Amino acid sequence: MRLRTILVHSAAAIVLALFVATQALAQGGERFSFDDIPVDDARQYYVAVGGGYLGMLGFMNFDKLNEIGDRFGLPPFEGQLFLNGGGGLISLLIVPNVRLGVYGLGGSRVIQSDVTLPEGKFRRSLRFGTSMTGAQFDYAIRLFRSVTILPGIMLGAGTYNLEYTQSQADSVGFNQIFGTDPGLNRSSRISSSHFFYYPAVNLEWAITQFVMLRAGVGYRGTAAESNWTDGSDTQVTGVSDLNANGLTLQFGVFVGLFQNQ
């Protein structure tokens, strides 16, 4: 999923949350009474609706990527893969304490190095990127009035992208990239799609009725990965088993209406 689409969905969720919060304030001053919710006993339900920013820090294994980078004399990938995005969430009051969320995230890591060839100085880079869009089901267990722990699972679809470039280090003309004789300038990009699963446990703190903070931990796994293809949808064979599987930390800030009493 492209970053632009992710941002559009996130913005829509935030607008929805702000509308809900505005309506709550209009109903009765600074605090909204959850007793007004039309269920048998609102206080026995976990109630939340909102949207906002979500970030993920993935501890993936870079070994396969580093094998590719070694071929081009590039330094190793190190650290973590950082994903940015957002989404919205809402309690399913017909099923007590169950919450549905829809999220989209994307991010990439790049390594690069300058090399000197007979034709001049060139810059090589290798970029690995991923995006994910999914629905998350959580079960809310309220620890305190404003603190809730939510075990759950996110399921959805995603993409992996691998891009290699070699271009003149200082500057390069358009025709040298898109012309019929690019010389030693190179640009290659392949991608694949997949389904993913992400079991996680999140801890959320409703600091007010209208602002909630999240921190959590989970594991991202990949299933049913498609063939790798290039920009012309030609299948690329012999690609290493590249994925972003691994332990993942999650954090976010949401605005909307959240139960903290």
Burial status of residue 160 (CB atoms within 10 A of its CB: 0-12, 13-18, 19 or more): buried
Q: Which run of H or E residues covers position 194?
A: strand 186-206
d(CA 42, CA 96): 10
Confirm if 254 and 89 have CB atoms less than 8 A apart. Answer: yes
Tokens of 160: 């992996």
Name the pTM for this structure: 0.81
pLDDT at 3: 42
Report residue 6: phi and psi, to 5°: -60, -45
Tens place of pLDDT per residue across the chain (261 aa): 444 444 444 444 444 444 544 454 444 445 555 555 554 554 557 889 999 999 999 999 999 999 999 999 999 999 999 999 999 999 987 888 999 999 999 999 999 999 988 888 999 999 999 999 999 999 999 998 889 999 999 999 999 999 999 988 778 888 777 877 777 888 899 999 999 999 999 999 999 999 999 999 999 999 989 999 998 999 999 998 999 999 999 999 999 999 877
CA distances in angstroms from 51 to 3, 16, 152, listed in the order given = 17, 7, 18
pLDDT at 59: 97
d(CA 23, CA 39): 19
pLDDT at 31: 56
pLDDT at 78: 92
Domains and CATH numbers, the chain: 3-258 (2.40.160.20)
pLDDT at 221: 96
Confirm if 71 and 92 have CB atoms less than 8 A apart. Answer: no
pLDDT at 189: 95
